Amino acid sequence: MSKQPIRKAILPVAGFGTRFLPATKAQPKEMLPLVDTPVIQYLVEEAVNSGIEQIIFVTGRSKRALEDHFDSHYELECLLEDKGKREALQEVQSLTNMAEFFYVRQKQPRGNGDAILSAKNLVGNEPCAVLFGDDLVNAEPPALQQLINVYEQYEDPVIALTSVPHQQVSKYGIVEGETDDNTLFKLRDFKEKPDPTETDSSQAVIGKYVITPDFFDKLEDMKGSIEGELGMDNAVNALLGERDLYGLEVEGTRYDCGDKLGYIQATIDYALKHEKIGDGVKDYLKSLNLD
């Protein structure tokens, strides 16, 4: 039997983005820009550059701007055409053609596992990718492609990891497992925000996964029995006794765009790389007296 390719990616974007209020009161957190490009667009580009053909957004009631961003805009396109702004027109039109886009709403904010389960019928009986909106990784090949490479070797679920200072593990989901190279881990446990005394591991989960169809089955089985939020860690731990799961410490520079400092760091770095303003930003930073 031939391996099923990873063709679909789920992007859960239903959260309220409370850490960025008041900026996110009337716009999705995922639409906050790094210079001139929304964070969510970078995630879609990562997916498309990793071979993804269909993007499934799990949205909430305040996410209309995100849907509009990847839709056609006839009036704007006509305006750009009339003014001869061909480069801007091509950039706007390319957004619609990046992939096939689908949207499903999470009915209640019951955790990231519940959000993933909302997309089950659109995924079908296929493996798929999951990309959360907070974690941006500047890497070549893309971080998702690195996970897909591991999946293609083992045909088991794969989770993206990054190493964090051990005193900070209580801020993250932490995995424990066996490794031969301190890069690829065969998992044995997933602890959600453990106290540093509860684990020897410093391998933190970042919001990128390749999951298999039985992941959905576990989430569905647990949905009615778990009080409170249904998390990805619940499904991972339920599957660990039945099959192999892997964690990969991805190569690249990771930014936590769900954190104000992480978002500012990403903005500065992406501004420095921007072809039109990068030199100006560099000169400005050099001019600052940062005593």
Which range (88-92, 186-190, 256-260) has the least confidence?
Answer: 88-92
pLDDT at position 1 is 44
Better pLDDT: 182 or 164: 164
Reported as a single tens digit per residue, the pLDDT across 49-95 is 999 999 999 988 777 888 888 888 888 888 988 888 888 888 888 88
pLDDT at position 60 is 81
8 Å CB contact between 176 and 188: yes
The DSSP element (H or E) to which 180 belongs, if any, is none
Better pLDDT: 9 or 133: 9
Rounded Cα gap, residues 291 and 288, in angstroms: 9
If DSSP codes are grouped into helix, strand and coil, which group holds residue 56? Answer: strand
Q: Which residues contact 205 (CB under 8 A, 6 or more apart)?
A: 159, 160, 161, 172, 173, 174, 175, 190, 232, 247
Reported as a single tens digit per residue, the pLDDT across 104-139 is 988 777 788 888 999 999 998 999 999 998 899 999
Is the confidence at residue 2, as pLDDT, over 70?
no
Identity at 168, one-letter amino acid code: Q
pLDDT at position 225 is 67
8 Å CB contact between 225 and 135: no
Domains in the chain (CATH in brackets) are 8-283 (3.90.550.10)
pLDDT at position 24 is 85
Reference 257, options 165, 131, 163, 160; nearest CA is 131
Compute the average pLDDT of residues 189-204. 91
If DSSP codes are grouped into helix, strand and coil, which group holds residue 160? Answer: strand
pLDDT at position 203 is 93
Helices 232-240 and 213-223 meet at what angle, rounded to 10?
Answer: 110
Torsion over CA: 196, 197, 201, 206 (sign): negative
Compute the average pLDDT of residues 277-286. 95
pLDDT at position 260 is 92
Length of the chain: 291
Average pLDDT of every residue of the chain:
90
pLDDT at position 41 is 93
If DSSP codes are grouped into helix, strand and coil, which group holds residue 214? Answer: helix
Is the confidence at residue 241, as pLDDT, over 50?
yes
pLDDT at position 142 is 96
Pairing of strands 54-59, 100-105: parallel
Tokens matching residue 12: 């859960």
Give percent of the chain with pLDDT exceeding 70: 98
The residue written with tokens 């904010």 in the block is: 109
